[in-house]
Amino acid sequence: MLVSPNTVTFSVALPEGTLDPSYLDESGKVSVLANAVSGSMDIVTPAEITALERLRTGDPTDADSTVMAGLLERGYICADADEDDSRYRSIVDGYFEAIQQAPFQFMFIPSFVCNLACPYCFEGELTTKSPRMDEEMIDAAFDAIPMIQELHDNSGPPYITLFGGEPLLDTAYQRGAVERILRSSYDRGYPVTAITNGVALDKYVPMLLRYGCEEVQVSLDGTPEIHDSRRVFRNGKPTFELIERGIDVAADAGLRVLVRVLIDDESVEAMPRFAEFAQSKGWIDHPKIRMFHGFTKAITFLYVTPDHPEEQRRRMVRGDVKPGLQESFYRMLRANPLVDRMLEPDPARIRSAVMEGDRVRPNLQGCSAGTSVVAFDPNGKVYGCPETVGRPQHACGTFFPEFSYAGGYRDPWRHRHVDTVPMCRDCNVKLFCGGGGCPIKAWAASGGDFNTCYCPKVSAIKTRVETELAYLLPMALRRRQDKAARSEGGEGTWEQMTRVGSFPWMS
Amino acid sequence: MIAISMIKDAEVSEKQPDCCTAMRGRKNLDVQTNVMVGDPDGCE
């Protein structure tokens, strides 16, 4: 017997009384085993952890056969290393086969211009003055789509995303360019989505519907007070009410609306008030609206290239999220179930596994930008990552006036995954992080090698999972207890339901 | 040992894919990809 290389032990602090004390270790935490290849996750006793760790270090174990059988059945230990590896390999191969058939996203940036002046915008100075995509350039971008898919060995359906700058500016030029992109997509049968600031969304809804646009994404910064203190027009005028109207008009017209709620130190404590607002609007349960959160990020890495001095690269390529923000976010969530229902946050991507008993899903490749996303900018350049657009040092080709594609730059990026980064290969947490962190950061920080790791720290990946487990497990266990109690008490049975008052017409 | 995930007969809700965020079509893969929605705090 040996421990599966992808078995991870997480150590989770749970509120007192959540579990029987026999599950607590000396520090008062509980151990959670997970294996993203077998899909299992279990809360285990200190004795079970000891048996596993002794097996890992090669020490003889005196654990009883029931313990070992349980660990084996759930895939934490295995009898045959080759068989275990073959299961892992089939997941990796299956992923890359599936990726080749998966839809490929092409982002069109008619111009970088934006009418807002959000202080944290990653496009920054690009949004004040920009070239425009003319008709010839738009047609060239559509012509480039099959060529790029062929270079990526991708036969999936392409789909188009309008991006900017602000794609839905209410100007004559922009309406013309957007309509040409929409019409060209419609004629080719490509679905369209748009990522917009939303201030003129209501005016664009008829056009978007006419060409079959399926989905738009807008952002709000929380309550109107906080939102209008920063997500403002260039002249400082507020935008909340315009975006609110855009969301309502779009959703009522049948467009699916994703509302990204930006959270940072300034807005996190106001989320409960924003959730009440969203509920009063009917957004939280609206069938066409989905809300999710994003943290404002540090973006200095965009300005770094491999030829910068090492010290500068190290300083500028760094983490995105301010220390402490995750903690304050979860603290706020614990006290405010409505915010949880609104956002259903899942940074570690284990929510479905913990709350619904789904399998733990392995994350084999850290970023979809590496495989099946490309952005066309109004300079005629092609970018592999939408966050890098407009920075020529990150371009991977051109689509106008001529098509060119830097395979030497793009291929190692495209093929980068948990096994191509040496540091990740033997890391047992790799299937919870995707292997190597952000590829652009790894490339810049290492001096030009995609197959390096810009992993913040293995401990940071573990902490992310442990933080989410500490948040979700009490809810999941309580839900199970309630379900068991209902089942024991006959709640939910026909006898129970047919009591007077259970159905409105019987009361 | 208390099984948390990979529960037989678990009632797993159907997740709707999000087109804007490159998730479209991938929900049925047996693995998840890192997408802006799924990984809102980015690459750290």
Phi, psi of A431 (to 5 degrees): -80, 0
User: Does A133 share its domain with A22?
Assistant: no
Which of chain B's residues have a Cβ under 8 Å away from the Cβ of A290?
A: 16, 18
Distance of residue B30 Cα from the nearest chain A Cα, in angstroms: 7
Residues of A in contact with B12 (CB under 8 A): 352, 356-358
Q: Do A367 and B43 touch (CB under 8 A)?
A: yes
Q: Do residues A46 and A141 share a domain?
A: no
Question: Is A440 within the bounds of a domain?
Answer: no
Q: Which residue has the tokens 């295995």?
A: A78
The first and second tokens of residue A445, run together, are 């920080």
Through-space distance between the first and last CA atoms of chain B, rounded to whole angstroms: 33
A295 touches chain B (CB under 8 A): yes
Residue A109 and residue A209 share a domain: yes
> What is the per-residue pLDDT for A457?
63
| Strand boundaries in A296-388, DSSP class E | 373-376, 381-383
**CB contact at 8 A, A187 and A139:** no
| Residue finishing a domain among A365, A389, A414 | A414
Q: Which of A39, A320, A350 sits opposite B41 (nearest CB)?
A: A320
Distance from CA of A507 to the nearest CA of B (A): 31
Indicate whether A189 and A51 sit together in one domain. no
Q: Which residue of B has its CA nearest to A295?
A: B41
Statement to judge: residues A94 and A167 lie in one domain: no
- Both A408 and A298 in one domain: the answer is yes
Q: Supply the ipTM of this predicted assembly.
A: 0.85
Please tell me whether residues A269 and A310 are part of one structural domain. yes
Please name the residue of chain B whose CA is at the shortest distance from the CA of residue A365. B33
- Whether the Cβ atoms of residue A456 and residue A485 lie closer than 8 Å to each other: no
Here the CATH number for the domain that contains residue A205 is 3.20.20.70
Print pLDDT tens along chain A (507 aa): 899 999 999 999 999 999 999 999 999 999 999 999 999 999 999 999 999 999 988 887 777 889 999 999 999 999 999 999 999 999 888 888 888 888 889 999 999 999 999 888 888 888 888 999 999 999 999 999 999 999 999 998 899 999 999 999 999 999 999 999 999 999 999 999 999 999 999 999 999 999 999 899 999 999 999 999 999 999 999 999 999 999 999 999 999 999 999 998 899 999 999 999 999 999 999 999 999 988 877 677 777 788 888 888 877 776 666 768 888 999 999 999 999 999 999 888 899 999 999 999 888 877 777 778 899 999 999 999 888 899 888 899 999 999 999 988 888 888 888 888 888 888 889 898 877 778 888 888 888 888 888 766 666 788 889 999 999 999 999 998 888 888 776 544 444 443 333 333 332
Give the A window 85-144 contacts with B, CB below 8 Å: 91, 94-95, 98-99, 102-103, 105
Angle between helices A201-210 and A240-252 (to 10 degrees): 20
- Give me the domain span that covers residue A72: 1-98
Residue B17, min C-alpha distance to chain A (Å): 11
Counted domains in chain A: 2
- Which among A414, A444, A478 is the end of a domain? A414
Q: How far is A270 from chain B (nearest CA, A)?
A: 19
**Are A112 and A224 found together in one domain?**
yes
Please state the φ and ψ torsions of residue A81, each to the nearest 5 degrees. -65, -35
A474 preceded by cis ω (within 30°)?
no
Residues A255, A370: one domain?
Answer: yes
Model pLDDT, residue A372: 83
Asked if A94 and A74 sit in the same domain, the reply is yes
| Pair of tokens at residue A9 | 């032990």
| pTM for the full predicted model | 0.88
Q: Which of A49, A79, A98 is the last residue of a domain?
A: A98
Could you tell me if A91 and A138 lie in one domain? no
Domain co-membership, A131 together with A89? no
- What SS3 class is residue A355? helix
